[in-house]
């Protein structure tokens, strides 16, 4: 199970916060902050796993993250997930973002948080991996965008 | 109306949308909070409007603010309004907001039930999808109960997009509403063989999650998963299944035997590191579960270790990390095969990545033996010197102590060496673990009697150089060792070479700067020391020297009497009076030494930390029972209500027992103390108070290494435990030579002609190593009749416990899922009646094919039930006992409708429904399954195929007409596409161009 998916930038500003377990808002912010401090002090050339899941869940949980340019993508998962698999999943997610936004950059995430959520919903649902095939994910997202377009009034 | 519409759209033009909000926040960096509260006021206005588009826009902005940490639960009702919008655009905004902020405590959530049900049955698959996604985040027990049946129906939806979502969400439903597990499980199991790889993967995902928590209930699925494992090409599915097998093997060793071969094949063939890694992990789990029973698994272990070595040597830090992680699992059962790679692990200690160093440290813990302990610790000590950052250094320190003290110091052959290591560790700057070192010193000195003399000499040196240890404030943590040093010197003062010098060291004015609890120990042990000096002097008939010592005490003790620490003050003033009294006696030439040392007679025995807890409660003793009559409430509480509700009051008082007031608690404590005093099982102080210090055995025989104590301890940074490395080597060398000599003699005696086979490859095993000293490690005392172990009760709040449900038992009628009920009660009867058959039809639909068959079955059903349960067990046994498949796994099947038809022959367990139908034949065949089964299978499959096509027709008929018109061929077309296998090896490097 995935417990939380956090995206924040190099300064710790949250860009996407998705918890699959209920935490009050202030705790959520605290977790984001602490996670940020944990990953910030790690060089880029060291491993992408972090134990010490005192933040969420306890010892069964790991933080698995990737750092892309200005953004950190952090998944908090328990031991039922494969570490390397989750790393790949982050890659799939980011590549999907790249396809949907055409050369995604941090600004896309800032201004279209809702869309990022919709994309994530096609990858992970309720903390479980829903789809890993990028073509399938993109196809579903595009179909929903078309549906949305057909609904919007022609001004 | 039209005017309203126009007005609405004009409003919208002036409203901020999400982008405007974000931009605004970015432009108001200084007064962000103020700006946002202004925006929230605007949003509140927008939410009051009727226009749904305005509302949706407002909710969307709220979702953004939620991410920034603002509580938006006040808008829950508006969110529900937006969720129920007819347009998908708005609906999904509503569901997104709900998924971010709804939870079990949200009270309006119960209003959503009907809306969600409506969306679930919507003709548009995306309405359904969005509802499922949202629900997966905020499902409550009530929602789960009310919607379980609807979701179960969706598991057979024509669109795989809906099916996979419905399958996944079932896990959440099970968690919230465990009763749904049994009725829904058969269908979930069916989905394991769904033609769509996505649905299949979802089903595997859910069952793996379930099985991970309660593995024993899912053992009967092993054959099915085995088939999937050998046929699937989807790495995600494979990883999940292989992980699941890792959880199942401990329960069924035979399963492990069967798994080894296909897993080994996968390890050899796969190019995906993630899959390889999980295979290795599961093979390890298998090997652990088999640990003793199976011979010839050294090949598998070798393979694993060899693959892991490749991972550890990889330049990718992630692989290195995981390799070490897996290695530590092998270590637990097969330490020998890991120890061969000690070089590699030691190398990882130099890695720049701290996580990897910590992993390597963990490994080292298991790799030490008597032979290599000294060497490994030496290596670690050199890292302690090099380490930057106190956290890692502290970690190293604790690891050194852990490694040395593990299993009752079983790897330590030379305790002098260990004491030296501990003393060396006290020179660490800024460590927080002074108390750890102190605890070790105390433990070793108390339990290893033979080492006391050496320990005392070291500790007195430490006390002498206490100014080094305690000088700078930042070394606060380390002064804890002085606690141990003072105690050891005091308690075992008879071993001191220069007691007088140590006494003076302990009475230095500087000592008063130490923390209070350490000073207290100083004061107490100064007296012990004093007592033994007195005795010495009196025996040597030097009354003047004795008086001198007393004078020293009288001079120096007042500095402690002035201490701000109560404990120190109390002890010091007591002792000062005592010493003054002694001084008077000494002036009269009365011999006092005997009496003074009687104060500290007897030996302190180590008591196991758990001893107190393990004292059994004697029979017939109820610790919570009242010893005296419980005090009546009238004393403390107001009397009025008591007069009226007298009886009730008393009863309550009894129930409230645990929270009795302070007075009662004190009384009870007192009573318990009394009890303990009379209890023969309660540990009291040493049983033999007459025992004297002199009778410490065997001190003389210890070959003590000469340490020149006149030379003050070396300056920090100069390791001194190194000398033992050399000494140890020499000693071992000597031993080996002696042994060889003996052997030679024996050989010569034996016979000259017969060359001994093993003579040349003699290896030094751990057992051959004689320890440097004859050490007797005193075990910790435990009470008589100690209970064997304190079992940890399982956490009653564990949410997964409720899902520990036997899934093989046939379904009882009472277990059916509650069917859709409308809130308005008067119509509730009729739809229910209509719906029940639908459910039944669904569950049993495969049997519908021929009516006769079904009737016959119904007759048999009752009888069959029991037989079936048994049979499934037998099937698993049969499957497990058959030999594994030949090396070549069956060629990957086309995932598609055909998948079922080409099922491998060894597959014995068919979905339950088959067994019901063909039970009779099966039983006939049981004697000779091989011959008939193939024919039998063909028949079955044909039947099944027909059934399936029929299913399709039926489900199509059932579908709302709109949906069918929209995408009529979807169902057939989707099946052909196998999920492309993604290679997990080439993880694209992070920081690619696309993020700027």
Per-residue pLDDT of B136-152, as tens digits, reads 999 999 999 999 999 99
Burial of B369 (0-12, 13-18, 19+ CB in 10 A): middle
Contacting residues of B for A111, CB less than 8 Å apart:
18-19, 22-23
DSSP state of B956: H
CATH of domain A2-151: 3.30.450.60
Q: In this structure, what token pair is assigned to residue B947? A: 């059934």
Chain B, nearest residue to A43 by Cα = B353
CB-based burial, B497-533: b 16+ in 10 Å, e otherwise: eebbebbebbbeeebbebeeebbbbbbbbbbbbbbbb
Q: Give me B835's structure tokens.
A: 């719906």
Residues in CB range of B689: below 8 A, 6 or more apart: B601, B602
- Chain B residues near residue A125 by CB distance under 8 angstroms: 132-133, 136, 165, 168-169
Kindly tell me the burial class for residue B923, based on how many C-beta atoms sit within 10 Å of its own C-beta (0-12, 13-18, 19 or more). exposed
Helices B52-67 and B2-14 pack at an angle, to 10 degrees, of 30
Complex-level ipTM: 0.96
Q: Is A124 helix (H, G, I), strand (E, B) or coil?
A: strand
> CB–CB of B277 and A82 under 8 A?
yes
Q: Is the pLDDT of residue B762 over 60?
A: no
| Contact across the interface for A85 and B984, Cβ inside 8 Å | yes
Tokens of B720: 């001194």
pLDDT at B877 over 90: no
Using CA atoms in the order B574, B575, B577, B579, what is the torsion angle rounded to 10 degrees? Answer: 170
Distances (CA, A) of B374 to A5, B382, B383, B722, B776: 45, 12, 14, 9, 20
Contact B205 A128 (CB under 8 A): yes
Condensed to tens digits (0 to 9), the pLDDT of residues B832-842 reads 344 444 444 44
Tokens of B883: 């030999």
Report the residue from A14, A44, A104 with minimal CB separation from B67: A14
State the average pLDDT over residues B114-134: 93
Per-residue pLDDT for B101 more than 60?
A: yes
For B926, other C-beta atoms within 10 Å of its C-beta total 12
| Contact criterion met (CB < 8 Å) for B355 and A105 | no
Find the angle CA(B596)-CA(B602)-CA(B608) to the nearest 5 degrees: 140
Is B560:B525 a contact under the CB 8 Å cutoff? no
Instruction: Enumerate the domain spans of chain A.
Output: 2-151
- Average pLDDT, stretch B508-520? 87
Q: Given an 8 Å threshold on Cβ–Cβ distance, is B67 in contact with A50?
A: no
What's the mean pLDDT in A18-29? 90
How many CA atoms are closer than 13 Å to the CA of A96, on its beta-carbon side?
A: 28
Chain A residues within 8 A of B201 when measuring between CB atoms:
129, 132
Question: What CA–CA distance (Å, rounded) separates A120 from A19?
Answer: 12
End-to-end CA distance of chain B: 48
- In whole angstroms, give the CA distance from residue B742 to residue B737: 9
Residue B12 host element (H or E):
helix B2-14
Q: Please give the Cα distance from A69 to A65 (Å, whole number).
A: 13
Inter-chain contact B137–A71, Cβ cutoff 8 Å? no
Two tokens, residue B683: 């540990």
Q: How far is CA A30 from CA A12, A37, A113, B70, in A?
A: 11, 11, 20, 13
Sort out which chain B residues have CB atoms less than 8 A from A118's CB and list them: 92, 96
Helices (H) then strands (E): counts for chain B: 45, 0
What number of other Cβ atoms are within 10 A of residue B637's Cβ? 13
CB–CB contact B69 A26 (8 Å): yes
Q: Do A85 and B239 lie within an 8 Å CB cutoff?
A: yes
- The whole-number pLDDT of residue B158 equals 93
Yes or no, beta carbons of B320 and A69 under 8 Å apart: no
Q: State the smallest CA–CA distance between residue B838 and chain A in angstroms.
A: 28
Does residue B251 come out as left (phi exceeding 0), alpha (psi in the -120 to 50 range) or beta?
alpha
Place of tokens 């492990």: B256
Q: What is the pLDDT of residues B412-461, one digit of tens each?
A: 888 899 999 998 888 777 677 888 899 999 989 988 888 899 999 999 98
Cα within 13 Å of Cα(B880), Cβ side: 19
pLDDT band at B883 (very low <50, low <70, confident <90, very high): low
- Which chain B residues contact residue A154 at CB under 8 A? none
pTM to 2 decimal places: 0.64
Q: B434-447 vs B452-464: helix axis angle to the nearest 10? A: 150
Which residues make beta-bridge pairs with B664? Answer: none
Asked if the model's pLDDT at residue B30 lies above 60, the reply is yes
Reported as a single tens digit per residue, the pLDDT across B150-198 is 999 999 999 999 999 999 999 999 999 999 999 999 999 999 989 999 9
| Complete edge-to-edge strand list for the sheet that includes strand A49-50 | A14-19, A2-9, A71-77, A62-68, A49-50
Q: What is the pLDDT of residues B368-415, one digit of tens each?
A: 888 888 888 888 888 888 776 677 788 888 889 988 888 888 888 888
Instruction: Write down the mean pLDDT value for chain B.
Output: 73
Cα first-last separation, chain A: 44
Contact assessment for residue B477 and residue B470, using Cβ atoms and an 8 Å cutoff: no
Record: contact A130-B168, CB cut-off 8 A? yes
Q: How far apart are CA B331 and CA A10, in angstroms?
A: 39
**B934 vs B194, residue with greater confidence:** B194
d(CA B683, CA B670): 17
Q: With beta carbons less than 8 A apart as the criterion, state whether B657 and B624 touch.
A: yes
What are residue A17's phi and psi, to 5 degrees? -130, 115
Q: With the CA atoms of B547, B548, B550 and B556 taken in that order, what torsion angle do they form, in degrees rounded to the nearest 10? A: 160
CB-CB neighbours of B455 under 10 Å: 28
Contact assignment for A126 to B317 by CB distance below 8 Å: no
* A135 band by pLDDT with thresholds 50, 70 and 90: very high
| Residues 6 or more apart in contact with residue B313 via CB below 8 angstroms | B320, B344
**Closest among A52, A55, A76 to A2, alpha carbons compared:** A76
Residue B456 CB neighbour total at 10 angstroms = 24
Chain A residues with beta carbon closer than 8 angstroms to that of B318: 47-49, 83-84, 87
Which comes out higher in pLDDT, residue B806 or B305? B305
Nearest chain B Cα distance for residue A46, angstroms:
5
Return d(Cα B126, Cα B132) in angstroms, integer: 10
Nearest residue on chain B to A83, alpha-carbon basis: B274
Is the confidence at residue B655, as pLDDT, over 50?
A: no
CB A76 within 8 A of CB A62: yes
For residue B67, the chain A residues in CB contact (below 8 A) are 14, 16-17, 113
CB atoms within 10 A of CB B897: 15
Report the pLDDT value the prediction gives residue B661, as an integer from 0 to 100.
62
- Separation CA B231–CA B895 (nearest Å): 9
Give the separation between CA B775 and CA B483, rounded to whole angstroms.
25
CB atoms within 10 A of CB B293: 10
A64 close to A90: Cβ distance less than 8 angstroms: yes
Residues ≥6 apart with Cβ < 8 Å to B512: B519, B559, B560, B563
Contact B521, B511 (CB under 8 A): no
Q: For the segment A71-125, what is each residue's pLDDT rounded down to a tens digit?
A: 999 999 988 899 999 999 999 999 999 999 988 999 999 999 999 999 999 999 9
Q: Residue A49: which of B71, B161, B355 has the nearest Cβ? A: B355
Q: Closest chain A residue to B165 measured between Cα atoms? A: A130
Do the strands A124-125 and A128-129 form a parallel or antiparallel pair, or are they unpaired? antiparallel
What pLDDT does residue B972 have? 34
Nearest to A84 among B277, B352, B994 (CB): B277
Other residues' Cβ atoms within 10 Å of the Cβ of residue B674: 11
Query: Which of B22, B990, B993, B996 to mutate: most A Cβ within 10 Å?
Result: B990
Q: Which residues of A touch B995 (CB under 8 A)?
A: 68-71, 94, 98, 104-106
The verdict on a CB contact (< 8 Å) between B169 and A132 is no
CA distance A50 to B147: 38
């Amino acid at each position: 199970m995935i417990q939380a998916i956090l995206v924040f930038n190099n300064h710790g500003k949250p860009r996407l916060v998705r918890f699959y377990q209920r935490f009050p808002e202030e705790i959520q912010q605290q977790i984001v902050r602490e996670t940020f401090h944990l990953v910030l002090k790690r060089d880029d050339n060291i491993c992408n796993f972090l134990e010490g899941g005192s933040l969420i869940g306890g010892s069964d949980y790991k933080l698995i993250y990737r750092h892309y340019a200005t953004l950190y993508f952090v998944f908090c998962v328990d031991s039922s997930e494969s570490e390397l698999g989750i790393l790949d999943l982050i890659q799939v997610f980011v590549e999907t973002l790249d396809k949907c936004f055409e050369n995604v950059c941090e600004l896309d995430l800032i201004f279209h948080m809702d869309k990022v959520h919709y994309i994530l919903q096609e990858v992970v649902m309720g903390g479980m991996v829903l789809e890993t095939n990028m073509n399938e994910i993109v196809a579903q997202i595009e179909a929903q965008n078309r549906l949305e377009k057909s609904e919007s009034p022609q001004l | 109306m039209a005017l309203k519409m126009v007005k609405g759209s004009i409003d919208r033009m002036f409203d901020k949308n999400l982008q405007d909000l974000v931009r605004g926040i970015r432009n108001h960096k200084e007064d962000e909070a103020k700006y946002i509260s202004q925006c929230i006021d605007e949003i509140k206005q927008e939410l009051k409007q009727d226009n749904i588009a305005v509302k949706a826009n407002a909710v969307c902005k709220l979702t953004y603010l939620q991410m920034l940490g603002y509580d938006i639960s006040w808008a829950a009702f508006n969110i529900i309004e937006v969720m129920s919008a007819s347009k998908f655009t708005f609906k999904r905004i509503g569901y997104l907001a709900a998924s971010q902020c709804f939870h079990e405590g949200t009270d309006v959530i119960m209003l959503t039930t009907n809306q969600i049900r409506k969306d679930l049955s919507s003709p548009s698959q995306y309405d359904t999808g969005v509802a499922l996604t949202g629900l997966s985040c905020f499902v409550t027990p009530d929602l789960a109960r009310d919607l379980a049946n609807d979701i179960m129906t969706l598991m057979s939806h024509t669109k795989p997009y809906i099916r996979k979502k419905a399958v996944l969400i079932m896990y959440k439903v099970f968690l919230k509403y465990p009763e749904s597990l049994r009725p829904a499980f058969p269908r979930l199991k069916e989905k394991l063989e769904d033609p769509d790889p996505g649905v299949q993967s979802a089903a595997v995902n859910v069952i793996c999650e379930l099985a991970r928590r309660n593995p024993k209930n899912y053992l009967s699925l092993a054959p099915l998963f085995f088939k999937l494992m050998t046929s699937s090409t989807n790495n995600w599915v494979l990883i999940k299944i292989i992980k699941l097998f890792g959880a199942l093997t401990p329960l069924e060793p035979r399963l492990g035997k069967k798994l080894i071969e296909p897993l080994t094949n996968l390890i050899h063939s796969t190019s995906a590191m993630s899959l390889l890694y999980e295979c290795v992990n599961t093979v390890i789990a298998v090997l652990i579960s088999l640990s003793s029973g199976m011979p010839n698994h050294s090949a598998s272990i070798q393979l694993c270790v060899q693959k892991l070595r490749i991972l550890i040597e990889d330049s990718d830090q992630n692989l290195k990390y995981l390799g070490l992680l897996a290695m530590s699992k092998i270590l637990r059962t097969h330490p020998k095969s890991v120890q061969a790679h000690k070089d590699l692990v030691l190398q990882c200690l130099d890695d720049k990545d701290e996580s990897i160093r910590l992993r390597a440290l963990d490994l080292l813990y298991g790799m030490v033996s008597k032979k290599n302990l000294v060497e490994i610790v030496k290596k670690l000590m050199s890292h302690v010197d090099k380490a930057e950052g106190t956290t890692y250094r502290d970690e190293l320190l604790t690891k050194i102590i852990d490694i040395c003290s593990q299993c009752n110091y079983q790897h330590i052959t030379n305790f002098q060496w260990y004491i030296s290591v501990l003393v060396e560790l006290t020179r660490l700057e800024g460590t927080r673990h002074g108390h750890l070192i102190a605890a070790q010193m105390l433990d070793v000195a108390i339990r290893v009697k033979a080492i006391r003399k050496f320990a005392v000499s070291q500790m007195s040196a430490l006390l002498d150089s206490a100014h080094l240890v305690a000088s700078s404030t930042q070394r606060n943590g380390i002064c804890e060792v002085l606690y141990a040093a003072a105690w050891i010197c005091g308690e075992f003062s008879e071993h001191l070479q220069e007691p007088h010098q140590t006494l003076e060291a302990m009475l230095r004015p500087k000592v008063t700067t130490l923390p209070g609890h350490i000073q207290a120990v100083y004061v107490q042990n100064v007296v012990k020391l004093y007592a033994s000096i007195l005795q010495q002097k009196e025996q040597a008939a030097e009354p003047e020297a004795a008086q001198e010592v007393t004078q020293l005490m009288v001079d120096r003790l007042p500095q402690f009497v002035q201490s701000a620490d109560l404990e120190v003050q109390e002890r010091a003033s007591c002792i000062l009076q005592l010493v003054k009294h002694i001084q008077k006696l000494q002036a009269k030439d009365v011999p006092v030494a005997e009496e003074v040392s009687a104060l500290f007679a007897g030996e302190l025995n180590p008591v196991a930390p758990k001893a107190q807890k393990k004292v059994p409660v004697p029979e017939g003793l109820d610790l919570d029972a009242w010893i005296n009559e419980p005090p009546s409430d009238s004393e403390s509480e107001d009397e009025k209500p008591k007069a009226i509700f007298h009886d009730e009051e008393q009863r309550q008082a009894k129930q409230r027992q645990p929270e009795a007031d302070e007075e009662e608690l004190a009384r009870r404590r007192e009573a318990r103390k009394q009890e303990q005093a009379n209890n023969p099982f309660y540990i009291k102080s040493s049983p033999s108070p007459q025992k004297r210090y002199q009778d410490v055995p065997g001190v003389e025989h210890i070959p003590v290494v000469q340490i020149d104590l006149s030379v003050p301890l070396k300056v920090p940074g100069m390791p001194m435990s190194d000398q033992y490395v050399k000494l140890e080597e020499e000693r071992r060398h000597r031993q080996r030579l002696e042994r060889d000599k003996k052997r030679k003699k024996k050989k010569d005696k034996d016979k000259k002609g017969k060359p001994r086979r093993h003579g040349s490859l003699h290896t030094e095993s751990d057992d051959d190593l004689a320890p440097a000293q004859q050490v007797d490690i005193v075990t910790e005392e435990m009470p008589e009749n100690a209970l064997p172990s304190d079992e940890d009760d399982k956490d009653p709040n564990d949410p997964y416990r409720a899902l520990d449900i036997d899934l093989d038992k046939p379904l009882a009628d009472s277990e059916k899922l509650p069917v859709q009920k409308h809130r308005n009660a008067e119509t509730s009867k009729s739809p229910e009646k209509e719906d029940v058959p639908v459910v039944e039809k669904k569950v049993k639909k495969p049997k519908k094919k021929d009516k006769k068959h079904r009737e016959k079955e119904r007759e048999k059903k009752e009888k069959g039930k029991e037989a079936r349960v048994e049979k499934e067990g037998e099937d698993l046994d049969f499957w497990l006992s058959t030999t594994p498949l030949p090396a070549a796994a069956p060629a990957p099947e086309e995932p598609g409708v055909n998948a079922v038809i080409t099922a491998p022959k060894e597959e014995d367990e068919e979905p339950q429904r088959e067994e019901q139908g063909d039970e009779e034949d099966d039983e006939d065949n049981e004697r000779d399954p091989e011959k008939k089964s193939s024919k039998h299978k063909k028949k079955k499959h044909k039947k099944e195929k027909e059934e399936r096509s029929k299913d399709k027709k039926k489900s199509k008929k059932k579908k709302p007409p709109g949906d069918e018109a929209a995408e009529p061929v979807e169902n057939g077309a989707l099946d052909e596409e196998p999920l492309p296998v993604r290679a997990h090896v080439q993880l694209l490097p992070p920081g690619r161009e696309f993020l700027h």
